[in-house]
Amino acid sequence: MSEPEQTLPLDGWHRARGGRMVPFAGYQMPVQYEGIIAEHLWTRSSAGLFDVSHMGQLIVAGDGAEKGLEALLPADLMILKEARPKYSLLLNHEGGIIDDLMITRRGAHFYLVVNGATKAGDIAHLEATLPRGIVLDHMKEQALLALQGPKAVEALARLVPGVEALTFMTAGAFELAGAKAWISRSGYTGEDGFEISVPAASVEKVADLLAGQPEVKPIGLGARDSLRLEAGLPLYGHDLGHDTSPVEADLVFALSKRRRAEGGFFGWHRIARELAEGPIRKRVGLAVEGRQPVREGAMMVDAEGSEVGKVTSGGFSPSLGAPIAMAYVPLAYAVLGAKISLASRGRIFTGTVTALPFVPHRYHRKGAPQ
Amino acid sequence: MTVYYTREHEWVRVEGDSGTVGITDFAQGQLGDVVFVEVPEAGRAVTRGGEAAVVESVKAASDVYAPVSGTVTEGNQAVVDEPALVNTDPEGEGWFFRLTLSDNHELGDLMNAEQYKEYCEGL
């Protein structure tokens, strides 16, 4: 039996705006307001406000935090500059992924944002493996919002002058609605946008202010999922897990150059072997023929009908008006244009291996015009 | 002409021995944006409670069951071409298929509009 769901600080706020609440990661969360497709397209054309307060916000501090964390994840923290969030992975001894996360150096400590459904396990793992003397703080009193879309910068800069100077994957401390806010220019939709950490006590005021901007509408989990799928971004627990390696998951960019060469982190053995010899299988994007979505759990089958791969995320792309999916396929099929047979709901579908992202990223990178 | 409802949220509008089948407004609301519909071809025999059509939203896939047994006379090509009709007009233009009923007595097991409304309120 599962635990009853907890409520997030914005629970009543979502309900008052017509959010349809569903259980997710142990919380009651809004899956949609007006409808997934409308919310999805709104985010792609204007700005969407997401409540991601279920995610875990952690502080790792103390002498040796840098070295201690480098044993658990493949990022080069030695050269990680202040206030530059970096995507990384908590790895197990077998090179599998315990969680994916963002890690930022903030003064003397590291700030980590981990997935909601995995945060308890992450904390236990960190406590069990980080050397003594390192302090781990789970900031339960912090809420987290994401403002995503091409007009996010316009809306947020109106409330937080100066925030427009941030570029993709940079962050800083600001003030928003009288509250201290840690804002990074990052997100999970493929669009330009921001992630905003504020005290839970202030989040309702902040959400009101943001949602009050003409560019902004609240967006539910349903569109969050379809947006990240179009952006080719993996979802932990679906596209990533304890038995998938970063090489299989096509996340080699998360293995920093020095770390790749030197090792010295959990799972290095397998990862080095896969980097040298190639993995057995690899995560790819698939364009699915026809209109019917092929969903998580569908099998990739060979000519004899045997399972040789698996769809880990799949659905209908509102931007493309067609079904798309992510799947793990044998390495020989992980080439653009390869045709894949998928068994789903008692029939066979054809997928074509397609470059990720399905919909181009529109991040505001350094050096790009404002 | 009477409309009957099932616990699985299908409706069937009956005139004589012919019926038109779709999913209810409640069902489309639960499904959310419909992106794919498959309807049965004319001539296919369907059995009460058996799979007859498919409806998929952004979120989920589900089967549409035949509220009554009979032989399909027409599938609605309009919802195949424009699945969003199921959201905008579920109990009108968004119908799934028509059939000739093989046994009108089966209708006795279905709910009328008022009973169905109560049923939904209890969910």
Asked if residue A361 has pLDDT above 90, the reply is yes
The pLDDT of residue A243 is above 90 = yes
**Is 80 exceeded by the pLDDT of residue A274?**
yes
Write out pLDDT tens, residues A292-320. Answer: 999 999 999 999 999 999 999 999 999 99
Q: What is the pLDDT of residues A170-222, one digit of tens each?
A: 999 999 999 999 999 999 999 999 999 999 999 999 999 999 999 999 999 99
Q: Which residues of B touch A37 (CB under 8 A)?
A: 33, 35, 58
- The distance of A293 to chain B (nearest Cα, Å) reads 8
Residue among A35, A292, A295 whose CB faces B33 most closely = A35
Q: Which of residues 304-343 of A touch B (CB under 8 A)?
A: 315-316, 318
For the four alpha carbons of A155, A158, A360 and A114, in that order, the dihedral sign comes to negative
Q: How far apart are CA A175 and CA A278, in angstroms?
A: 47
Class of residue A140 by CB neighbours under 10 A (exposed 0-12, middle 13-18, buried 19+): exposed
Nearest residue to B46 (alpha-carbon basis) of B67, B28, B16: B67
pLDDT tens figures, A86-105: 999 999 999 999 999 999 99
- Write out the residues of chain B at the interface with chain A, using a CB-CB cutoff of 8 A: 32-33, 35-36, 38, 54, 56-59, 61, 83
Cβ–Cβ gap B32/A32 under 8 Å? yes
- Residues in chain B with CB shorter than 8 Å from the CB of A295 are 61
pLDDT at A127: 97
The pLDDT, as a whole number, for residue A2 is 57
Residue range B19-34: mean pLDDT, rounded: 96
Q: Given this model, what pLDDT does residue A4 score?
A: 74
Token reading at B120:
């939904």
Give the mean model confidence (pLDDT) for residues A20-47.
96
Q: Cβ B59–A31 below 8 Å, yes or no?
A: yes
Query: Are B35 and A32 inside 8 Å of each other by CB?
Result: no
Statement: residue A369 has pLDDT above 70: no
- pLDDT at residue A1 in the model: 44
Interface probe for A, chosen from B35, B38, B77, B87 (most Cβ of A below 10 Å), is: B35
Which chain A residues have a beta carbon less than 8 Å from that of B36? 291-293, 316
| Contacts for A21 with CB less than 8 Å, ≥ 6 apart | A11, A14, A15, A28, A29, A30, A31
Range B2-121 classified under CATH 2.40.50.100: yes
- The stretch A330-339 carries a mean pLDDT of 97
Residue B59: which pLDDT band, with cuts at 50, 70 and 90? Answer: confident
pLDDT mean over A341-370: 92
Q: Is A226 on the interface with B (CB under 8 A)?
A: yes
Residue of B nearest to A321 (CA): B35
Q: Taking 70 as the threshold, does the pLDDT of residue A162 lie above it?
A: yes
If you average pLDDT over every residue of chain A, what do you get?
96
Q: Which candidate in A22, A29, A43, A292 is best for mutational testing of the B interface (most B CBs within 10 A)?
A: A292
Name the maximum alpha-carbon separation found in chain B.
Answer: 37
Q: How confident is residue A156, by pLDDT bands cut at 50, 70 and 90? A: very high
CA distance A74 to A88: 7
pLDDT digits (tens, 9 = 90+) for B102-120: 999 999 999 999 999 999 9
Q: Which of B35, B38, B54 sits opposite A316 (nearest CB)?
A: B35
Evaluate if residue B1 carries a pLDDT over 60.
Answer: yes
pLDDT of residue A367: 82
Span B71-98, pLDDT tens digits: 999 999 999 999 999 999 999 999 999 9
- Residue at A6: amino acid letter: Q
Q: Cβ contacts (< 8 Å) between B33 and chain A: which residues?
A: 35-38, 318
Domain boundaries, chain B: 2-121
Domains of chain A from N-terminus onward? 11-51+141-230 (3.30.1360.120), 57-138 (3.30.70.1400), 252-354 (2.40.30.110)
Nearest C-alpha in B relative to A292: B36
A9 upstream amide cis, omega within 30 of 0? no
Contact flag B38-A226 (C-beta cutoff 8 Å): no
Q: Cα dihedral angle (A316, A190, A177, A155), rounded to 10 degrees?
A: -90
pLDDT at res. A241: 98
Tell me the average pLDDT across A144-149. Answer: 98
3-state secondary structure chain A: CCCCCECCCCHHHHHHCCCEEEEECCEEEEEECCCHHHHHHHHHHCEEEEECCCCEEEEEECCCHHHHHHCCCCCCCCCCCECCCEEEEEECCCCCEEEEEEEEEECCEEEEEECCCCHHHHHHHHHHHCCCCCEEEECCCEEEEEEECCCHHHHHHHHCCCHHHCCCCCEEEEEECCEEEEEECCCCCCCCEEEEEEEHHHHHHHHHHHHCCCCEEECCHHHHHHHHHHCCCCCECCCECCCCCCCCCCCHHHCCHHHHHHCCCCCHHHHHHHHHHCCCEEEEEEEECCCCCCCCCCEEECCCCCEEEEEEEEEEECCCCEEEEEEEEEHHHCCCCCEEEEEECCEEEEEEEECCCCCCCCCCCCCCCC
Q: How far from the centroid of its chain's Cα atoms is residue A308's Cα? A: 27
Confidence of residue A370 (pLDDT cuts 50, 70, 90): low
Probe site for chain B from A20, A24, A33, A36 (most B CB atoms < 10 A): A36
Type of residue at A5: E
Our CA-based measurement puts residue A341 at a distance from the nearest CA of chain B, in whole angstroms, of 20
> Which H or E run includes B61?
strand B61-65
- The ipTM estimated for the assembled molecules is 0.90
Nearest-by-Cβ selection for A226 from B58, B61, B83: B58
Q: How far is CA B21 from the centre of its chain?
A: 4
pLDDT at residue A3, rounded to an integer: 65
Of A36, A292, A345, the CB nearest to B33: A36
